[in-house]
Amino acid sequence: MVQYSYKLRLTSPTKPIDLFKGESKIGILQGSYKNIWTKMFDYFILKNSTFIRFEIKDSNHNHRLTSSSVTKLGNKKVKIIYTPSKNEKTELVIKDSKMFDIGDEATFEYNENTFVIKKPSLKPAKLLLNNHLIAEWKDYHLNRTVTLDIFNYDYIQDEYLILGIFHCYFYTIDR
């Protein structure tokens, strides 16, 4: 098992957040808005982070992941562009696959596989492939710390993708 962690900010999701693998800093997570109007709409009207976009950079300041919400009429969707190397980009869409809002379940396609994210109420979120646990994401509300445990070493090379998937999809729930 490999553990990653970061601290959420209470006030501004647009300030950089350091990402850690154990004790080593591996990158930065930062949110942004398209313009001031979408930021104001999120903060004052929706009181949520529906229109925020996230970006992850590695410790060498290379873009590894960008995300944006493509949610329409309550059907939650997040588009992610993942850059595993400078010459390669992969786009995926995480789609809400549950009709009711008791817990969350979402799916996405990556490398010709269908992955499932499940988050029962008050329990950690899990990333599964064919019902095998790949990773688990825990948000500790009291100290605003998030930990990610990757259990399947076949996916360690995609650590930025896994961090980004969990954060980008669940941030609006846990803010």
Grade residue 155 by pLDDT with cuts at 50, 70 and 90. Answer: confident
If one counts the domains in the chain, the total is 1
Q: For 21-25, 32-36, 70-74, 144-148, which range has the lowest pLDDT when averaged over its residues?
A: 70-74
Residue 35 belongs to domain spanning:
2-174
Give the per-residue pLDDT at 86.
Answer: 85
Grade residue 126 by pLDDT with cuts at 50, 70 and 90. Answer: very high
- Whole-angstrom distance, CA of residue 138 vs CA of residue 99: 23
Q: Structure tokens of 163?
A: 């961090």
Give the per-residue pLDDT at 100.
Answer: 65
Grade residue 174 by pLDDT with cuts at 50, 70 and 90. Answer: very low
Average pLDDT of every residue of the chain: 88
Mapped onto helix, strand or coil, the DSSP state of residue 146 is: strand
Contact 77/94 with Cβ under 8 angstroms? yes
Give the per-residue pLDDT at 173.
Answer: 44
Which of 169, 137, 159, 175 has its CA nearest to residue 54? 169
The pLDDT tens digits for 73-123 are 667 889 999 999 888 999 999 998 876 667 789 999 999 999 999 998 889
The pLDDT tens digits for 42-71 are 888 877 777 889 999 999 999 999 998 887
- Whole-angstrom distance, CA of residue 22 vs CA of residue 163: 14
Residue found under tokens 């998030």: 146
